[in-house]
Amino acid sequence: MALLRPHADFYRTAHPTPADVLLIIEVSDTTVEYDRQVKVPLYAGAGIEEVWIVNLPEEKIEVYAGLVGGVYQSISCVGRDAEVRAQTVAGLVVSVAEVLG
């Protein structure tokens, strides 16, 4: 899932580019290592400012943010009993427990 910047024509005339993406959320069950080792570096290289991995097996959300030179400077893990606050989407706060169910 990706959260995009608002676009005047709702992307009717062009597809979103990495510059339009505010946040990508990967929900991972059996693909956690692939998402972490392959997808996250690809997103960083494309200039995606923030990525969350909803890590179902470990019941946490991994947050990758603070992109500088194609590398995330801030990597954190938030457990079931806490909330995640987006750095790129003002006011977006998510309860990890509610996401995990």
What average pLDDT score do residues 3-13 get? 77
Mean of the per-residue pLDDT values of the chain: 93
pLDDT attached to residue 91 = 95
* pLDDT score of 23 more than 90: yes
What average pLDDT score do residues 54-77 get? 97
Handedness of CA 98, 48, 74, 58 (dihedral sign): positive
Handedness of CA 70, 22, 32, 81 (dihedral sign): positive
Nearest Cα to Cα of residue 88 among 49, 52, 39: 49
pLDDT attached to residue 19 = 86
What average pLDDT score do residues 32-59 get? 97
* pLDDT score of 35 more than 80: yes
* pLDDT score of 47 more than 90: yes
In order of their start, the domains of the chain are: 2-100 (3.90.1570.10)
pLDDT attached to residue 53 = 98
